[in-house]
Structure 1
Amino acid sequence: MLAAERRDHLLALLAREGKIVAKDVAADLGISEDSVRRDLRDLAAEGLCQRVYGGALPVSPAVVDYTARQTVTPDGKRKVAATAAALVRPGNALILDGGTTALAVAYALPADLACTVITHSPTVAVALLDRPRVEVFLLGGRVFKHSAVACGAAAVEAAQNISADLCLLGVTGVHPQAGLTTGDAEEAAMKRALAARAAETYILASSEKIGTASRFRVLPWEKISGLITDTDPRHAVVEQLTARGVEVLTAD
């Protein structure tokens, strides 16, 4: 089989099965695992898959820049945001992550809701300026432009001095085996720091992120209260998560 044919085979397998196991592909095609791994390295370099131990997973489309992400499944993000906003009770202290879905949550909060929002996202803070009953605390640090949020040591230290009832956290990938992931190590560390300061943490994940993975793990499944997604409950990944005890809130 030519290299181009192997490439097409791998991409078709990834789309059909949601994963590639290198040793299985090597056995099926009668080639070495090294050949498969080289092919996966090439595909990963083009942003077409996320390499993991033993193979590869679908790459998250949420790794593109912040402006481009605003055009990715906007209806799904609004549905997720509306369901997430309904979890916020009057008087709550809410930690609200950055990113396009979190920004949609800010806009989805009821206009008359009295609460405190703690965020490391300048865009989220600005979106709440016209909410007279929302007290906004903005955590500072180095701005990670991909998600328009503050990260780094200063931001993590600031996060360690807060407490909240609820944390609404975005990720770029949701996968039963790879877990909850994002594409930047410092952003992943910041998300962990925020989640650690809330009584409950829910993950915001519109459908394009389900079944995909990025490079850095954010949290293990047992550290979250639930997942909010607009994905069909009959989706194979959602069914796997439900079977392992993850609370999945369906946004519709």
Structure 2
Amino acid sequence: MSRLSRQQRLLAMLTDTGELLVSEAAAVLGVSDDTIRRDLCALQKQGCLRKTHGGAVSIDLGGMPRTTRSSLLPVQKKRIGEAAAAAVPAGATLFLDAGSTTLAMAEALAVPATVITNSLDIASRIEGRPALRLILAGGEWDSRQRLFSGAAARSVLGQYRADIAILGACAVSTHGAVTAGEERDADMKRSMINAASEAWLLTDHLKFGHVEPHHVADLAQFCRVYSDRSRPGPAMEQARPEFIVTS
């Protein structure tokens, strides 16, 4: 296993449980305790975790830079994106939110469609594909979150109507609140939902059970949720969206 793959596994383990021990992680990954300690030091320098005596504890997922969060659960995100892309009808107009899972969906999109996005990463990956008409909702650039936002970006969204708004999530509470860590990101997500006929949510299980400061929508406002796990809590068993579990 490469160092990058090992560190991704450590981050996924840590985010899933909240804490880990060096000895347990070494046993699971089949490496020495010293190797795990070096990995934890490197991840702490990147702002991904906080080391403790004998292990590490997670930090706020929503507080991570988007580039750091995007390294978590790459296989699961790819499967989620592929499942959502396969359900898009030909000729649809889509709002695509910024994020690693929506990026995976854009990369897997195989039917003709119009894609309206505030993500430079998504735009750069799909530009030049003749079956896709691309519209970039430009505005103020946020290099940390890798997205455009603000009044200018919302103005662009306001000129269009989409068949489907496809969003990622910073957090999904056990009571069904979808929230974001940044106010401008939440504003863009709400604008996409309000200007679309329906909304889909793409989220991995690491976002379940968390709450960020800025409300985006209630889960009941989404028609579908694509995830690698089922509903995040018993209080959501009767929630409206159809859950499509990909792994």
Contact 1:76–1:207 (CA under 8 A) maintained in structure 2: no
- Out of 238, 241, 246, which is 1:246 matched to? 241
Which runs of structure 2 are paired with 1:1-252 in the superposition (5 Å)? 61-110=61-110, 113-177=111-175, 179-231=177-229, 233=230, 237-252=232-247
For residues 212 and 172 of structure 1, what CA distance do their matches in structure 2 show? 8
Contact 1:118–1:138 (CA under 8 A) maintained in structure 2: yes
After superposition, the C-alpha distances for 1:47-76 in whole angstroms (9 at most, x for unaligned) are: 99xxxxxxxxx9752431122122111111
Q: Which one has the largest radius of gyration?
A: 1
Deviation at 1:239, TM superposition (A): 4.6
CA shift in 2, pair 1:223/1:67, >3 Å: same
Contact 2:94–2:165 (CA under 8 A) maintained in structure 1: yes
Deviation at 1:210, TM superposition (A): 1.2
CA shift in 2, pair 1:70/1:94, >3 Å: same
Contact 1:174–1:212 (CA under 8 A) maintained in structure 2: yes
TM-score by length of 1: 0.71
Deviation at 1:196, TM superposition (A): 0.9
Contact 2:112–2:132 (CA under 8 A) maintained in structure 1: yes
Secondary structure in 1 aligned to 2:123?
helix
Deviation at 1:177, TM superposition (A): 2.7
For residues 245 and 207 of structure 1, what CA distance do their matches in structure 2 show? 18
After superposition, the C-alpha distances for 1:18-53 in whole angstroms (9 at most, x for unaligned) are: xxxxxxxxxxxxxxxxxxxxxxxxxxxxx99xxxxx
Secondary structure in 2 aligned to 1:186?
helix
Contact 1:176–1:241 (CA under 8 A) maintained in structure 2: yes
**What residue ranges of structure 1 are gaps of 5+ in the alignment?**
1-13, 16-46, 49-57
Which residue identity lines up with residue 65 of structure 1 in the other structure?
Answer: P
For residues 80 and 59 of structure 2, what CA distance do their matches in structure 1 show? 21
CA RMSD of aligned residues (A): 2.3
Deviation at 1:141, TM superposition (A): 0.4
TM-score by length of 2: 0.72
Deviation at 1:222, TM superposition (A): 3.0
CA shift in 2, pair 1:221/1:66, >3 Å: closer
For residues 183 and 167 of structure 1, what CA distance do their matches in structure 2 show? 19
Q: How many residues align?
A: 195
Aligned match of 2:28:
none
Which residue identity lines up with residue 227 of structure 2 in the other structure?
Answer: T
**What residue ranges of structure 2 are gaps of 5+ in the alignment?**
1-16, 19-48, 51-57
Which residue identity lines up with residue 86 of structure 1 in the other structure?
Answer: A
Which residue identity lines up with residue 93 of structure 1 in the other structure?
Answer: T
Which residue identity lines up with residue 245 of structure 2 in the other structure?
Answer: T
After superposition, the C-alpha distances for 1:77-136 in whole angstroms (9 at most, x for unaligned) are: 1111111112211111111111111111111112xx211111111110110024211110
Percentage identity across paired residues of the two chains? 27
CA shift in 2, pair 1:120/1:86, >3 Å: same
Which residue identity lines up with residue 168 of structure 1 in the other structure?
Answer: I
Which residue identity lines up with residue 210 of structure 1 in the other structure?
Answer: F
